């Protein structure tokens, strides 16, 4: 969970992980870099190992990578 404000951290959302912004609206909590990796070192496999990951009530600036299945 992230308090409202701007967070200059790189967040890697892992398996069975959820990140939440605690601001009143998504505009109150900003994450500078958000990465949901593929789950495999091979780019050819796609995001098949990325089930049950979530990001809610936050805004992402700069870089965002979100692999999906």
Q: What's the total number of domains in the chain?
A: 1
Q: Which two tokens stand for residue 61?
A: 């600036």
Closest by CA position to 23, among listed 5, 1, 2, 4: 4
Q: Determine the structural domain holding residue 13 and report its residue range.
A: 5-66
Q: Which two tokens stand for residue 39?
A: 């789950």
**pLDDT (tens place) for every residue of the chain, 69 residues total:** 999 999 988 777 777 888 999 999 999 999 988 877 665 566 565 556 556 788 899 999 887 877 766
Residue 4 has a pLDDT of 95
């Amino acid at each position: 969970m992230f308090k409202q404000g701007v967070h200059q951290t790189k967040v890697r959302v892992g398996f069975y992980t959820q990140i939440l912004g605690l601001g009143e609206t998504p505009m109150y909590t900003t994450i500078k870099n958000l990465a949901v990796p593929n789950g495999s070192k091979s780019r050819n496999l796609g995001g098949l190992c990325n089930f049950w990951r979530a990001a809610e009530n936050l805004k992402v600036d700069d870089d965002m990578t979100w692999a999906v299945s």
